[in-house]
Structure 1
């Protein structure tokens, strides 16, 4: 068992304060794990970074653990919170991040609400509000002890995560990928496959979060290929298969990661424009109970793209095929 894996035994005993934790889109299990990381593992000697703080639930749980840690020094340690801190197109934020639970008329920023909720921890909390490409410093190469990634909803943002944060990981650094159960974000999955020789996975995913610790220096070439999306489709599928060999059910038994990761392969092909291949991967997964219940919109998206591609090729209907045959094309 990894050092991080020992935290799993403590999950059932964590009691976070009722009513204090802000609304969060992560599960109570993930909040408990964040608290345990702050309380029992992290030191604050290097940068502690949360990418995608949202309404502050995950930030609060982690900061509470740090405050109760015997080794974290609030005078010198810093927790860096990055987010748009507003709702609107491209932010993937919920109106529930406002204290009122809905967006006030004429207002799109919940930054003041975030600050108010995290007030006990402001002395060691640094807030970076805005587009990650603008709020992160390309010249900052300081080592990152902890990286919580809940912001990589697009390939564009993930490139920023890779270039400006993954490059700063060192042996001992801890990474949490919060969206690991999201098939539409396959860059999380094939990049993890590329990192497998240099990391140890802590244990089963904590609901949607995969946790791992860097145990060997990551070669610059590996990080460059991840950032530049320099892997072929077949290489990406093989990298995801390598993760499938390591990850099965989440720790509660509720999320079956092998089919989730298989569906991520379909999205690799989908984003590459090979919609026929994408549907050929996705179609057998429609019989999976978990995916059919939770990802119906994903199946519809991949199938629709495949059918549109087929129509454009002239083979989308029986009549179309007959016409092609009649004119000899």
Structure 2
């Protein structure tokens, strides 16, 4: 069992406040964040949360840190990154505002976030804005813990991989909160590329995959991840390697082998190979979980396939004849 794996047996011992800030993270993921903060981290290196949202996940992690005797609030820091506003490209909800909706003249919920996290402000550093602007490209300080709930686009994941994954060392912990998202395949094939150098903690905690770095990650591997330097076939093979390690989440509710199979369709889709994407996706329509939760994904892939110009058999024959 991994060092992180021992935390799974402690879920029932966690008592989080009933009035946690609004969050889109499940109770199990909140409990795991608390357990990591309380029983695993030290604060000697950077503790980073990318995508703090309304503050529920930040609160659970900070509460664990505050109760951790190994964590020194005077020296340790929890770094919280987010746009802290609603609007196009932020993937934020108006529920992150204390009132439950955006004021007419302000799209920022930063003050609401500060108020909710008031007990932890002495060791909380808030970085508000576009991650490309709020993160330091020259910062090479080691990262002890990285919670990634911000990589909703390939552009943002490039920043995450360039400026944060490169600072992971043996013992560093990564939590991918969106691992159940088929539209975010970069999370899956990048994990596949990292498999020789990490140890997965155990079954995903709902949509979160947790792993610990066990060996130094070669610079060329990190470079390929940050530059997305993989062919489509390489990406699919890397995702298959992850499927060989990950099955259902710890509650038994999310079938990750199927989720990653649908994510493979999005690898082809983003590459413009819509026929290939639909050939992968259509075989998954009978999957109970995917048909219930990802109907819009199938519609999107089918629509792209239908819109792609079709070449008739006769046209293909004429082209072949013309080549002779």
Q: TM-score range by the shorter chain?
A: over 0.9
Going from structure 1 to structure 2, the CA distance change for 1:292 and 1:78 (only over 3 Å counts) comes to: same
Instruction: Write the distance in 2 (CA, Å) between the matches of 1:277 and 1:106.
Output: 46
Structure 2: tracts of 5 or more residues without a match: none
Aligned to 1:10: 10
1:153 match: 152
Tell me the residue number matched to 2:287: 288
TM-score, normalised to structure 2, is 0.96
SS of residue matched to 2:234: helix
Match of 1:114 in 2: 113
Of the three residues 310, 313, 317, the one matched with 1:313 is 310
Q: Give distance in 1, aligned partners of 2:85 and 2:26.
A: 21
Give the C-alpha shift of residue 322 in structure 1. 8.6
> 5+ residue gaps in structure 1?
316-320
- Over 3 Å counting, the alpha-carbon distance change for 1:324 and 1:235 in structure 2 is closer
Q: In the superposition, relative to structure 1, how do residues 314 and 211 fare at CA in structure 2: closer, same or farther (>3 Å)?
A: same
Q: Secondary structure at the match of 1:287?
A: coil
Distance 1:154 1:14 in 2: 33
Secondary structure of the structure 2 residue equivalent to 1:127: strand
Per-residue deviation, 1:81:
0.2
* RMSD, aligned α-carbons: 1.5
Name the CA distance, whole Å, in 2 between partners of 1:262 and 1:154.
19
Residue of structure 1 equivalent to 2:271:
272
Q: Deviations over 1:95-116 (max 9, x none)?
A: 0000011111122000000000
> CA shift at 1:59, angstroms?
0.2
Runs of 4+ in 1 over 6 A off after TM superposition: 321-326
- Residue-by-residue CA offset, 1:231-284 (whole Å, 9 max, x unaligned): 000000000000000000000000000000000100000000000000000000
TM-score by length of 1: 0.95
Q: For 2:147 and 2:315, how far apart are their aligned partners in 1?
A: 55
Corresponding residue number in structure 2 for 1:318 = none
Write out per-residue CA displacement over residues 63-116 of structure 1, whole angstroms, 9 at most, x where no aligned residue.
000000010000000000000000000000010000011111122000000000
Distance in 2, matches of 1:12 and 1:60, equals 19
Mapped partners of 1:57, 1:324: distance in 2: 57
